[in-house]
Structure 1
Amino acid sequence: MNLIFLAIVLIAFAVAAIRQVQWQAPAGDAEASSPMQDLALGMIDTAESSVTLALGLIGVMALFLGLMKVAEAGGLLRIFAKLLRPVMVRLFPDVPADHPAMGAIIMNMSANALGLGNAATPFGIRAMQELDTLNPHKGTATNAMALFLAINTSSVTLLPTGVIALRAAAGSSDPAGIVPTTLVATICSTTIAILSCKLLQGRFPARAAEPGESPSADSSQATAAPSSDKTEDKLDPPLPETTDEAYPGWISALVLLGVLAIVPLTVLYGKTIAPWIVPGLMVLLLGFGAAKGVRVYERFVEGARDGFQVAVRIIPYLVAILVAVGMFRQSGAMELLIGPLGAVTGLIGLPAEALPMALMRPLSGSGAYGILASIIQDPAIGPDSYAGYLVSTIQGSTETTFYVLAVYFGAVQVRRVRHALPCALMADLAGVAGAVAICLLLYGHLT
């Protein structure tokens, strides 16, 4: 992210400087601002608006994390894990069903599905550590490791709470409208992740890493960067216990079919269902917690406190990336880069204003989050336009692939990632394609 941030700033300054040298004040308009003046004013305005955005985000983030804390205390995460176990046992035939790695994998995926980033990250690292105990070639990713990482970067998502919160803070009239689109996009990306791993694992033979090879990731550096992303959260909370329990296979199959049945319902009635999601979540999650004997008020306040801390913690990151992106746009560099590419991608439903989001997402969670904020805050676009829905869906349905690879493989010093990276990138591409398709179908008429 250091190089990306610096490159954006330097390119923006260079383009503005060239324009400044070539600029001439319009005749009769002595007060006309020069390109460099526009750049300076844009930087100040963007810095102020980024803090305003973060302050507006505090309340919404506190609301959603409060609700999720109630659900977590009521055992919703464990219920999801029990439902997933029969499926995971078949997806990971190399991992014994009763091995600790299986429990950590299931809990990680359950936490990601529910938007519980603080729980997902430590479970993911624990899963990699346990998988490494089954690894005959230390330093080389096993088939199970590669598949777990690819699924983790795609991860079927039911509640993209962070993006919903950001949309609400941006003044969206339908902040939860991305729940159905995110579900469809993540089903697409997860399907591609699984298929590509199964097809490519034979083309990348496993062998031990050479002693002199440098690691592809440094876990001590990778885990040090905080962000709002679900896998870029700091590992502050203690690791919860995993579970070896499972529901009967037929129950898991029924639930899986139910999730798949949501897809056509989303296509047909997505816009009708979306307004019910936020109030429905409030009632259902608090009701679930109360039915499980949870002291819902105390747990809600505890989660809301965490939400407040998360929202405050991301202010410096929002300021940094939003100012850099604002400079890039104000200088004219964005138009020079995105114009030709956007003319091509616009033909397939990926407009020029959404293209930076698709390009940044695999590289940096905080960078993509900042670009998302700048797009939906732009009065010319807004959160409820087609582009607003599209970039929100891309943020909620794709992952910071290189960061995940660095953190998870770095935790066990894996040097040879084999097919993990291409499979994860194919899953990212499938997520973007799925997002474009479903957003075109539901919101393509919006401007």
Structure 2
Amino acid sequence: MEMLLLKQFHYFLSSSSKLPFFKSPTDATSNSLSPFRSPNPPRRRLLTVRASLITNSDSFEVGRLIGSYGFMNVTSYSGFQSGEDVEYSSGDLGQLRVQDVGEGSVKIRLYEGRVSQGSRKGTPLIFKVYPGKRAGGLEADMMAANELNAHAFLQSSSKDICSNLALLVGGFETNTGEQWLAFRDDGKYSAADYGKIMSERISKKIEQVSWNPYEQEQLIKRRRNFVIRMFQGIMRGLVYMHNRNRLHQSLGPSSVVLNTIVEKDAAYLIPRLRDLAFSVDVRYPFPEDSLGQLAEGLWRRATVAGAYTPMEKRAFGIADDIYEAGLLFAYLAFVPFCEAGVVDSLSLQRLLESTFRLDLEAMREYCLADDRFVEAVKFLDLNDRAGWQLLQAMLNSDFRQRPLAEAVLNHQFLTRAMI
């Protein structure tokens, strides 16, 4: 039974399931928590919803604005340019395609909050606010509805909810068309925040002339342990999704929320996947147009790669998630182990895709000659270069050769390289 919270969407809600509109908060950005109230609340229609999810706006209190962000859209797809010095060409089916990206028009706001009444009273929340059709266009409505639907499906069994996925508590819509999704607050730091903070700490340590070598060794060991535990949790979340025929399709450093970034507390670390606005349902048989423009790019890339049947496209989608997870693994293997400004996610991706054409052995030789990457190389060299082997498998230019998420989770680098 599907959960219905937001207003009508032709691709997954019926015409009889439309939520009433609520008044917008006037002081949602204030420092104190202020409940949403409607002076003349409309009569609420009876909806078929899951009892564990909150759909009454009066049950929430909203605090300060804590941030905002946008999404990157893939705008074109092209093959490598053929030439004397280029190994790959656009005619190679299944090979990597260059993607041009641009900033999307949908801007998301994040607020602190809490549940104000009921059995969950006092539960801290993070509100994710989509601008609605009027401000953000149809795409914003589609993204909000898709994220809602994905979480509802993945949380459908209370006995089998994965601890490595963000937990949706409820949501509602305001009279301006904004879609408010309420998630349990399981941490305000992302993997991107972790990478940035740790690289800045390395820069500060290097500036200290009397940095104790023993202290440095212990720090690196803790960092390796923390990163491996983080990536294990990320892959457990992806295994859970793929086993339920759901693709993430937006996996990156910013889409992983952490309950701690204290490396000494690695034993208590629980990474959680979020940002399921572009998640795709690949249960067979699945309609390719079920998400309209949200999944259009995925199926276009699948066709270019030689995936034509529904099952081939499903396999491509899973492999596409693995590729994104591979780029995330590369980010975690390099950025926290390098000084600030040496490398970031985009420059690392260009290095992998454009400079070395996904030849990880060539990239290792390059990094060995640069002292700025010494700790990253040592990390991936653990257990007889198992990190490089895993990275090469996940970033295989042929999607058919990439491992499944469960195989990644059980790879020797993640099971035997623990400190």
TM-score when scaled to structure 1?
0.29
Point out the structure with the larger strand share: 2
Which is bigger in relative contact order (C-alpha 8 A, separation at least 6)?
Answer: 1
Point out the structure with the larger helix share: 1
TM-score when scaled to structure 2?
0.30
